[in-house]
Amino acid sequence: MSQLTALYVYKVVSQASPGVDTADLVKQLGLDPEGPIDPARMVSSAAYYDVFAALVDRDPNGLALPLRIGAAMRSDEYGAFGLAWKSAPTVVSLPDPQTTAKIPSHSSTGEMKIGWYRAVEV
Distance from C-alpha of 29 to C-alpha of 25, rounded to nearest angstrom: 7
Domain boundaries, the chain: 3-85, 88-119
Tell me if 113 sits within 8 A of 102, measured CB to CB.
no
Looking at residue 63, the DSSP 8-state letter turns out to be G
pLDDT in tens, 69-116: 888 877 776 667 677 767 775 655 444 544 444 444 444 554 444 444
One DSSP character per residue, 49-99 reads HHHHHHHHHHSTTGGGHHHHHHHH--GGGGTHHHHHHHH-S-EEE-S-TT-
Q: Which of 12-26, 37-51, 75-89 has the lowest mean pLDDT?
A: 75-89
Of 105 and 45, the structure prediction assigns the larger pLDDT to 45
Residue 42, SS3 per DSSP: strand
